[in-house]
Amino acid sequence: MKLEPFKFFAGFFEKKRTTDVSAPAVVTLASPAEVYTSVLSQPHVLQGKMKEKKLTHGETVLATLSPVRLEPALGKMALYFCPMRQLDITETLAQGDGGEIPGEVVVEGLMSPVGCEPGLYTLKNVRLTSNGTIQVKTTSKTSWEATTI
């Protein structure tokens, strides 16, 4: 039996195999997925837009957020506010109490659109409330529209 010394180290010095990344895989969801936020969603961006519109603690409005980013994560879709440039208020449902807008965002009942791909979207007709947390809630008229910056 012939011993081959240093065979253990052979893998370290061989030419590395590469994967073609010129055309990244795009994940398309065949069915709606739950949308969620986290501290990585940059909630301070939404908070800042709400302050620009002079919204206060306890206020509830119907609004359009544009653009927001959707990315797949763990079988769900993560919602990011980092690219957001506009917060359009379509209706005020309840006046605020003049207090500060909270810094945490919670999403309730929001699902991604069928055939959704990662990217930028305009999120239309959501109920936006700021009581303890910023709450983004779905309505019967909530819709997603693919967009660009």
Q: What is the DSSP string of 2-68?
A: ---TTHHHHHHHSPPP----SS------SS--BEE--GGG-HHHHHHHHHHTT--TT-EEEEEEEEE
Tens digits of pLDDT across the chain (149 residues): 555 555 555 555 555 555 454 544 455 656 789 999 998 999 999 999 999 999 999 999 999 999 999 999 888 999 999 999 999 999 999 999 999 999 999 999 999 988 889 999 999 999 999 999 999 999 999 999 999 87
- Indicate whether 96 belongs to any domain: yes
- In total, how many domains does the chain have? 1
- Indicate whether 116 belongs to any domain: yes
Query: Domain range holding 94?
Result: 34-146
The model's pTM = 0.79
- Indicate whether 19 belongs to any domain: no
- Indicate whether 24 belongs to any domain: no
- Indicate whether 10 belongs to any domain: no
